[in-house]
């Protein structure tokens, strides 16, 4: 099975999910008070939009790399990819939840934990698919990758889980810290240092 | 007519429909009560999201297979495919209906029957398109498929309707049973056994 | 300029517009009355969904044909295509308006006129783009089309406007007649007779 | 890295963003008054829809040109492109804000400034990506572009920022003037004169 429709479908789901994020930014009703005040009050929505947009964007870049190594796909790859898309598809909900509750009187910790937990889940799904491709489906790769390089790619994917584990675990302490960690991860992956050579995955 | 735009358009519609499912998961208003309690209460939304996401995902995988057999398409194939997409496009509504009414005081059976009925309709549209391609448009296939194999593919598609007939018929007995049957179908098709060889359609 | 991105972008916009139609079908709130009764009451939403879905689907099939004749595109074609997409993008609004007002106490005629007017506008944009390609950009066609055939294609496109002119003009008489005409057009184009040979555009 | 998935993903995001604009046009509730009156009252929604749709459409055409010059992409290009998409993704919000407040009792200036500011931001992101490609990644171009031509392309992109700077700066004077400037830019780029030869970017 060729990889082109896998890419097309994944691109579609990721593009829709990333664009739906904007629906979480509400236009204040004209009669609720000064527009400036109302827009300022909902800053968590802008912060969450940017963090989620960049995070999904980076996942897309990495997905691009991961799949481009394949000459072909098979059923298991399609299903693991579906699992990854299922997690990405939940992010507009997680983002909205985080943005709505970051300044609420209750529920901040739970909302932050769910948000970071969804990012963690997405990263685990990504690492699982990557591991499956690199170690179980090496015969489908378009060109062989040395064992050491494969271990290195996987290792970096697993290291990438650590900040999300932290962000989830620290949510009961402070929802702000959780958001700051998630934002830092997004910023980190946009820095040149994160690419660590030719392959950023 | 080449099949590439048929694939691109179908991928687009399926990708949007699968991603719109998340809009059915609501963020509880901050003043309605404990967030944890409110989120727990809306578990049917998560269950319905997962079942519908996986089901649409599997339909996409199978659609992929079905269309990949074609060297070309024609007008009838485009129109039958449109009918299939029309059914898929209704699933966000059916999913939302099911999730909203599963724990309501009335309407559970009807909501469940409509949900399973839409899945059944989608499967019938799929089988119809598959039958049309395999038996009426065999000259458009990229390589010939033996009669016995074609019958086998079609037979499995028709067998796949049975659980949805059951799920729809049992909705008056219990909406929960309907959801469990639909979930079981989704899980079954992700198991290796369901692929039954190289071609899962 | 190659035509592939024009196709990809158009497929994207049309796929999103056709799938957004489902958002017009509302899940009745559990406390508003019997679910069966409420769902039956909103039949105009289902009718409008099916008519609009099939109409957009047929426009997509015809767009497919129109663009497939081109070897290349240019700026004017891109801009006329954008105008067509702008009209298609308005259909979820027009569909929702029609569905909401078909059984309302006032506004039915206006809503129906706007709905049919948008379909008319879309058809005019389509015919304009087709005319521009066939008569002004014949050098961009992948293979020459005889003058007589080009006139025939254009003529059929213009004839296709007539029912929408009628549907718009008859809206003050009856919104139901308008919807029936629009539905008839959609059904007509799915009949084999409508293809009139190899090329349905 | 090939440019095809960059194009596919960008097409997806732009197609979704442009199609989501229609969600800002509301169907008046049947019991709020005469439908004609209510639809007339919300003319800013139609104006904003058309201006934003055409503007995003032109950005897509120009994006098409910019990327088509590339033989390959790299990580920085992907990230700058992501920044551009992030700005485009915000336009449905900006458009809705502008439309909602253009005739409100307060907040018109701020809403208009945010709308024009988002368009300015998008244009800056576009010019930045263009500059990066033309001057820093000239080795990735599919064919070399003379220095003078590259300066000319960039110059025109920077000149294109001026009206949005004006539109943003004049928002405190009049929100109407801001909308008129933004509309004029959209109209200007659809005129043949704007193409200035073969390459409109």
What ranges do the domains of chain B cover? Answer: 4-195
Q: What is the pLDDT of residue B194?
A: 62
- Phi and psi angles of residue C70, each rounded to the nearest 5 degrees, phi first: -85, 140
Segment C173-192 mean pLDDT: 92
The average confidence (pLDDT) of chain A is: 91
Choose the closest CB to D12 out of A12, A36, A53: A12
Q: List pLDDT tens digits, range D38-64.
A: 999 999 999 999 999 999 999 998 998
pLDDT tier for residue C126 given thresholds of 50, 70 and 90? very high
Coil, helix or strand at residue B70: strand
C187 touches chain B (CB under 8 A): no
State what percent of residues in chain C have pLDDT above 90. 68
Tokens of D194: 């704007």
DSSP state of C135: I
Instruction: Say yes or no to pLDDT of A161 above 80.
Output: yes
What band does C51 get if pLDDT is binned at 50, 70 and 90?
A: very high
Nearest to B22 among A9, A89, A105 (CB): A89
How remote is the C-alpha of A5 from its chain's centroid? 21
Query: Smallest Cα–Cα separation from B7: which of A82, D193, C11?
Result: C11
The answer to whether D141 touches D77, Cβ cutoff 8 Å, is no
Residue with tokens 């700051």: A180
Contact C110 D16 (CB under 8 A): no
Residue C200: pLDDT above 50? no
In a 10 Å sphere around its CB, with 0-12 CB exposed, 13-18 middle and 19+ buried, how is residue A31 labelled?
A: exposed
pTM comes to: 0.93
Q: What is the reported pLDDT for B200?
A: 38
Chain A hits for D86, Cβ within 8 Å:
50, 53-54, 57
Per the CB < 8 Å rule, is A107 touching B7? no
> Would you call C11 and B9 a contact, using CB atoms and an 8 Å cutoff?
yes
Measure CA B129 to chain center: 14
pLDDT (mean) for D193-199 = 49
**Exposed, middle or buried, B111 (CB in 10 Å: 0-12/13-18/19+)?**
buried
Tell me, what's the ipTM? 0.90
**Per-residue model confidence as pLDDT tens digits over C162-173:** 999 999 999 999
Residues in chain A within 8 Å Cβ distance of D1: 64-65, 68
Preferred mutation among C13, C88, C91 to probe D, highest tally of D CBs within 10 A: C13
Give the pLDDT mean for D171-194: 90
Question: D67-103 in b/e burial notation, b at 16+ Cβ within 10 A?
Answer: bebbeebebbbbbbbbbbbbbbbbbbbbbbbbbbbbe
Q: How far apart are CA B169 and CA A167, in angstroms?
A: 46
Element (H, E) at A197: none
Interior angle at CA D23, CA D22 and CA D24, nearest 5: 85
What's the number of CA atoms in the CB half-sphere (13 Å) around residue B174? 6
The yes-or-no verdict on residue A141 having pLDDT over 50 is yes
Separation CA C178–CA C170 (nearest Å): 6
- List of residues 6+ apart from D40 with CB closer than 8 A: none
How distant is the Cα of D139 from the closest Cα of chain C, in angstroms? 21
- How close does chain D come to A72, measured CA to CA in Å? 16
- D15 vs A200, higher pLDDT: D15
Here the tokens at position D193 are: 């004169």
Radius of gyration of chain A (CA): 18
pLDDT in tens, B67-102: 988 988 888 899 999 999 999 999 999 999 999 999
Write out residues 32-91 of B within 8 Å (CB-CB) of C: 75-76, 78-79, 82, 85-86, 89-90
Q: Buried (b) or exposed (e) across D148-165, using 16+ Cβ within 10 A?
A: eebeebbebbeebeebbe
Confidence of residue D32 (pLDDT cuts 50, 70, 90): confident
Q: What would the DSSP string read from start to end of D121-167?
A: HHHHHHHHHHHIIIII-GGGBSS---HHHHHHHHHHHHHTTHHHHHH
Substitution target in B3, B4, B7, B16 with the highest count of C β-carbons within 10 Å is B16
- Which of C187, B181, B7 is closest to A7 using CA atoms? B7
Instruction: Give backbone dihedrals phi and psi of C29, rounded to 5 degrees, phi first.
Output: -65, 135
D13 touches chain A (CB under 8 A): yes
Q: Classify B30 in phi/psi space as left (phi over 0), alpha (psi -120 to 50) or beta.
A: alpha
In sequence order, the 6+-apart residues with CB closer than 8 A to the CB of B185 are B55, B160, B163, B164, B167
pLDDT at residue number D200: 38
Q: Are the C-beta atoms of A62 and D1 separated by less than 8 Å?
A: no
User: If you ran DSSP here, which 8-state letter would residue D106 be given?
Assistant: S
Alpha-carbon gap, residue D118 to D87, rounded angstroms: 7
For residues D16-38, give the mean pLDDT.
92
Q: Whole-angstrom Cα distance, residue B133 to residue B131?
A: 5
Residues, chain A: 201
Q: Are D153 and D199 in contact (CB under 8 A)?
A: yes
- Tens-digit pLDDT profile for residues C58-108: 999 899 888 988 988 888 899 999 999 999 999 999 999 999 999 998 999
Among A7, A8, A125, the strongest candidate for a mutation testing the B interface, having the largest count of B CBs within 10 A, is A8
Closest Cβ opposite residue B18 in set A13, A106, A110: A13
3-class secondary structure per residue, C29-95: CCCCCCHHHHHHHCHHHHHHHHHHHHHHHHHHHHHHHHHHCECCCCHHHHHHHHHHHHHHHHHHHHH
Mutate to test the interface with A, among B3, B17, B27, B195 (most CBs of A within 10 A): B27
Torsion of CA D176, D177, D180, D182, to 10 degrees: -110
CA dist., res. B195 & res. B197, Å (int): 6
Instruction: State yes or no: pLDDT of A15 exceeds 50.
Output: yes
Is residue D192 very low, low, confident or very high in pLDDT (cuts 50, 70, 90)?
A: confident
State the pLDDT confidence band at A1, using cuts at 50, 70 and 90: low
User: What pLDDT, on a 0 to 100 scale, did the predictor assign at position C201?
Assistant: 38
Residue C187 corresponds to which tokens in the numbers above? Answer: 């059904």
Please give the residue of chain D at the shortest CA–CA distance from A58. Answer: D79
Q: Is the dihedral of CA C78, C79, C84, C89 positive or negative?
A: positive
Residues of B whose CB is below 8 A from C12: 12
Tokens representing C165 are 């002119």
B touches which chains (3+ CB pairs under 8 A)? Answer: A, C
Average pLDDT on C47-63 reads 94
% of chain C beyond a pLDDT of 70: 95
Question: What span, in angstroms and rounded, lies between the C-alpha atoms of B147 and A74?
Answer: 25
Whether A173 contacts A112, CB under 8 Å: no
Computed over every residue of chain D, the mean pLDDT equals 91
CA proximity to D159, closest of D191, D198, D188, D190: D188
Q: Is the CA virtual torsion B62, B63, B66, B67 positive or negative?
A: negative
User: Residue C123: is its pLDDT beyond 90?
Assistant: yes
Give D159's contacts (C-beta < 8 A, 6+ positions apart).
none
What's the rounded Cα separation, in Å, for the pair C78 and D200? Answer: 12
Q: Return the closest-CA partner of residue D161 out of D127, D132, D115.
A: D127
A139 to chain B, any CB pair closer than 8 A? The answer is: no
* Residue B79 burial (10 A CB sphere; 0-12, 13-18, 19+): buried
Q: How many beta-carbon contacts under 8 Å exist across B and C?
A: 91
Report d(CA C3, CA D187) in Å as an integer.
Answer: 24
| D51 vs A32: CA distance, rounded Å | 27
Chain B contact present for C142, CB below 8 A: no
Mean pLDDT (whole number) for D197-201: 39
Partners of D154 in the β-ladder: none
Distance CA B17, CA B6 (A): 16
- State the pLDDT at residue B125: 96
Please give the pLDDT value at position B112: 97
Between A3 and D166, residue with greater pLDDT: D166
The DSSP bridge partners found for residue D35 are none
Percentage of residues in chain B having pLDDT higher than 70: 95
Compute the count of residue pairs across chains C and D with CB atoms less than 8 Å apart.
Answer: 91
pLDDT > 90: percent of chain D = 69
| Residues in chain B with pLDDT values less than 50 | 196-201
User: Which residues are CB-contacts of D12 (< 8 A; sequence separation ≥ 6)?
Assistant: A11, A12, A14, A15, A16, A19, C12
- Collect all residues with Cβ–Cβ distance below 8 Å to B144 and sequence separation of at least 6: B138
């Amino acid at each position: 099975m060729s990889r082109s429709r896998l890419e097309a479908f994944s691109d579609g789901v990721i593009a829709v999910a990333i664009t739906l994020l904007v629906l979480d930014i509400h236009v204040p009703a004209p009669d609720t008070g000064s527009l400036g005040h109302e827009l300022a009050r909902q800053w968590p929505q802008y912060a969450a939009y940017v963090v989620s947009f960049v995070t999904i964007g980076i996942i897309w870049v990495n997905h691009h790399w991961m799949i481009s190594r394949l000459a072909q796909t098979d059923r298991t790859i399609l299903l693991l990819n579906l699992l990854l898309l299922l997690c990405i598809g939940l992010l507009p909900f997680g983002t909205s939840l985080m943005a709505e509750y970051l300044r609420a009187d209750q529920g901040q910790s739970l909302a932050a934990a769910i948000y970071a937990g969804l990012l963690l889940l997405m990263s685990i799904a990504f690492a699982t698919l990557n591991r499956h491709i690199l170690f179980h489906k090496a015969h489908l790769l378009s060109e062989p990758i040395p064992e050491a390089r494969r271990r290195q790619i996987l290792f970096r994917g697993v290291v990438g889980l650590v900040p999300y584990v932290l962000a989830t675990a620290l949510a009961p302490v402070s929802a702000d810290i959780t958001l700051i960690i998630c934002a830092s991860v997004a910023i980190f992956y946009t820095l040149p240092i994160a690419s660590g050579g030719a392959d950023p995955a």
